[in-house]
């Protein structure tokens, strides 16, 4: 296959980078390229939901190149119809349920093709303040942006959109797409996607609004939809912010007079020798001028600044000014959401918060500014200088929310004056290394996500609770006290993995210094390069012969395994061979595939499979 045809995607991306208002035409023809369909399969084959069925029983297991090409032809002839999305509900910790859509396997591949094209068109257009569902960016990039830009902010508007995804208006979304895409066939494909409906409790429901949560293309469609909000807030910044050219002109004339006098006296002071009578006299004069300057306002009016950040449907607007201005901007955004996007912001959850009087909750952190400004003083060349600095933003761990979550899951127990760690009785049937590995993954997940917190003591408290809960669970399993468990395995609870020489331990941490604080950032949008896409297509297993019998007779189907290596579970038969090969997909002919699924696999040894895969893949 000619993977050079993928370069058309990069031509589209360059055009969007060159001109953010560029109108793309005849996009649908890209769907005629075989390479983009193989690329779509390669992108989604390793996803956790690859073997999760939608409204039909089909999954990616058994997919062949012939089936992908048939799907391509059906879409290009405009005969393809999306199946209704199967809706399930995932319970939340607060008792509510979050809806999740499960599309069919064919719909997943078509959605991935659409996502690849939309990403090439819109990724260069998205504003820098948008961080959600963008390749290379994450929550820590958004939080780092907040730390850098919101430090001098007085009031924050916490944004909360009521039922964000289910209330996205289809007509408005398509109108937004048509601003940059003039291709009726591609737009008709988007309409088919939006009108596919859902299946809930064996009943088909046809919705006039919303994009299904959980589908592959929903995140980028939501970003395209809320790009209108991003652009509107950019207009508000232009409207209300004090222009940089006028910021210096806003200084009070009396304050500028004292600045000029201080500069003149400082210049004279440096021309005299240290400890000279003239220098001492000038130092007294300088001190007096600085004291008088403190009694004068530096600016005629306060310089107004507006900052913004958005992660998916969570957003904040920071205002450096008075509360009335923040309230005006909030009402303006509310009007825009109602009239332009036909969505409502939550009347109670969307509020204006003074950063020095209360906390702002954003992406799992409690953010606030200390009331007292730090004072630093130093003495040099006979002059004592006192400075009152601007405090840095504080990022706190929401301990109460975290302890409540793990209390409901059985790791902790609520007491009148707090919580205490307990044994998780469900895990006592598991092997020691599985228990330790589980607690290890929980703690490392929390440590990595809250690595940017400024109050390290709160993170230390969470560490203590999980560390003791792990020791109690091991003690419960072996009918031993915690002291004996620590004496046997040490503070790190180091245990040996069964049937191997490897060990696993709890990451016991003793240092909680503030200088260890850091954000795990992607720093910039990381879009796939041409060479990366080309390698994915050229090394695809869809065109390889059967890994068992070396047959090339069609159809060659892809055999999928959900977990290649999973602690606490030992695969048997062909899955064991794949586990040792460390592969989640492997090409098989139809006969060999049926033998594997029926459990009668009695083929070549692991070494033979390894040699064949080396020969076919070239590794």
SS (HEC) of 124-165? CCCCCCECCCCCCCCHHHHHHHHHHHCCCCCEEEEEEECCCC
Q: Are 469 and 424 in contact (CB under 8 A)?
A: yes
d(CA 16, CA 13): 5
Give the H/E segment covering residue 22. Answer: none
pLDDT confidence tier of residue 568, bands split at 50, 70 and 90: very low
For residue 158, list its beta bridge partners.
316, 351
d(CA 394, CA 397): 10
Model pLDDT for residues 72-108, shown as the tens digit of each residue: 999 999 999 999 988 888 876 666 777 888 899 999 9
What integer is the mean pLDDT of 262-270? 87
pLDDT at 583 over 90: no
Query: pLDDT: is 403 or 204 the higher one?
Result: 403
Q: What is the pLDDT of residue 609?
A: 61
Say if domain 130-161+216-248+301-396 classifies as CATH 3.90.25. Answer: no
Average pLDDT, the chain: 85
Model pLDDT for residues 20-62, shown as the tens digit of each residue: 889 999 999 999 999 999 999 988 887 777 778 888 888 888 8
pLDDT at 571 over 80: no
Q: Identify the three-state secondary structure at position 321.
A: coil
Q: What is the pLDDT of residue 569?
A: 45
Query: Among candidates 328, 331, 303, 308, which has minimal Cα distance to 318?
Result: 308
d(CA 221, CA 177): 9
For residue 365, list its beta bridge partners.
362
Query: pLDDT: is 142 or 46 the higher one?
Result: 142
Q: What is the pLDDT of residue 580?
A: 45
Range of weakest confidence among 9-23, 30-44, 543-557? 543-557
Q: What is the pLDDT of residue 300?
A: 65
Q: What is the pLDDT of residue 613?
A: 58
d(CA 294, CA 300): 15
Give the H/E segment covering residue 429. Answer: none
What is the β-pairing status of strands 97-102 and 305-311? unpaired
**Residues ≥6 apart with Cβ < 8 Å to 603:** 548, 549, 574, 592, 595
Phi, psi for 24 (deg, rounded to 5): -90, 130
Counting residues of the chain whose pLDDT is more than 70, the rounded percentage is: 87
d(CA 373, CA 355): 13
Reading the block at residue 175, the tokens are 């109108």
Reading the block at residue 472, the tokens are 């109690």
How many Cα atoms sit within 13 Å of 483 on the Cβ side? 0
d(CA 508, CA 547): 44
What integer is the mean pLDDT of 565-569? 48
What integer is the mean pLDDT of 304-312? 93
What is the β-pairing status of strands 198-200 and 85-91? parallel
Exposure letters 487-511 (e unless 16+ CB within 10 A, then b): eebeebbebebeeeeeebbbeeeee
Q: What is the pLDDT of residue 22?
A: 92
Q: What is the pTM of this model?
A: 0.85
pLDDT confidence tier of residue 581, bands split at 50, 70 and 90: very low
For residue 376, list its beta bridge partners.
387
Q: Are 52 and 88 in contact (CB under 8 A)?
A: no
What integer is the mean pLDDT of 420-428? 92
């Amino acid at each position: 296959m000619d993977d050079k045809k993928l370069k058309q995607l990069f031509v589209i991306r360059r055009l969007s980078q060159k001109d953010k208002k560029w109108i793309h035409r005849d996009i649908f023809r890209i769907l005629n390229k075989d390479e983009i369909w193989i690329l779509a399969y390669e992108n989604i084959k390793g996803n956790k939901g690859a073997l999760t069925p939608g409204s039909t029983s089909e999954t990616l297991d058994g997919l062949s190149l012939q089936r992908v090409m048939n799907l391509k032809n059906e879409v290009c002839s405009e005969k393809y119809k999306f199946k209704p999305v199967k809706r399930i509900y995932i319970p939340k910790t607060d008792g509510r349920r979050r809806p999740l859509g499960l599309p069919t396997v064919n719909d997943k591949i078509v959605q991935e093709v659409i996502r690849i094209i939309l990403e090439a068109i819109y990724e260069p257009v998205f504003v820098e303040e948008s961080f959600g569902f963008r390749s290379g960016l994450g929550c820590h990039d958004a939080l780092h942006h907040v730390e850098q830009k919101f430090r001098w902010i007085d009031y924050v508007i916490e944004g909360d959109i009521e039922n964000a995804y289910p209330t996205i208006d289809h007509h408005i979304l398509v109108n937004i797409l048509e601003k940059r895409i003039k291709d009726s066939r591609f737009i008709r494909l988007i309409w088919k996607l939006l009108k596919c409906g859902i299946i809930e409790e064996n009943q088909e429901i046809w919705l006039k609004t919303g994009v299904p949560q959980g589908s592959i293309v929903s995140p980028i469609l939501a970003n395209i939809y809320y790009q209108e909000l991003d652009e509107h807030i950019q207009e508000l910044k232009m409207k209300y912010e004090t222009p940089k050219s006028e910021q210096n002109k806003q200084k009070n004339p009396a304050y500028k007079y004292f600045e000029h006098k201080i500069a003149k006296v400082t210049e004279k002071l440096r021309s005299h020798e240290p400890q000279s009578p003239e220098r001492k006299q000038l130092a007294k004069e300088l001190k007096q001028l600085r004291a008088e300057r403190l009694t004068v306002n530096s600016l005629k009016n306060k310089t107004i600044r507006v900052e913004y950040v958005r992660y998916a449907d969570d957003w904040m607007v920071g205002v450096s000014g008075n509360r009335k201005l923040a309230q005006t901007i909030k009402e303006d955004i509310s009007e825009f959401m109602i009239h332009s996007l036909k969505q409502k912001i939550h009347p109670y959850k969307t509020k204006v918060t003074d950063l020095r009087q209360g906390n702002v909750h954003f992406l799992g952190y409690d953010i606030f500014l200390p009331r007292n400004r730090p004072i630093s003083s130093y003495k040099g060349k006979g002059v004592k200088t006192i400075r009152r600095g601007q405090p840095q933003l504080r990022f706190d761990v929401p301990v109460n929310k975290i302890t409540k979550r793990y209390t409901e899951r059985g790791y902790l127990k609520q007491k009148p004056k707090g919580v205490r760690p307990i044994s998780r009785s469900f895990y006592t049937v598991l092997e020691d290394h599985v228990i330790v590995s589980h607690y290890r993954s929980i703690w490392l997940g929390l440590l990595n996500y809250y690595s940017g917190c400024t109050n390290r003591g709160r993170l230390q408290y969470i560490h203590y609770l999980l560390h003791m809960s792990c020791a109690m669970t091991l003690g419960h399993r072996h009918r031993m006290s915690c002291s004996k468990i620590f004496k046997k395995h040490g503070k790190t609870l180091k245990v040996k993995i069964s049937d191997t020489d490897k060990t696993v331990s709890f990451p016991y941490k003793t240092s909680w210094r503030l200088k260890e604080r850091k954000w795990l950032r992607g720093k910039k949008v990381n879009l796939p390069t041409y060479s990366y896409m080309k390698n994915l297509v050229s090394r695809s297993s869809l065109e390889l012969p059967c890994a068992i019998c070396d047959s090339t007779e069609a159809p060659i189907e892809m055999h999928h395994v959900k977990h290649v290596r999973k602690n606490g579970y030992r695969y048997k038969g062909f899955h064991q061979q794949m586990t040792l090969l460390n592969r989640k997909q492997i090409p098989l002919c139809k006969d060999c595939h049926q033998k594997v699924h029926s459990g009668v696999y009695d083929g070549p040894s692991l070494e033979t499979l390894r040699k064949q895969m080396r020969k076919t893949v070239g590794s």
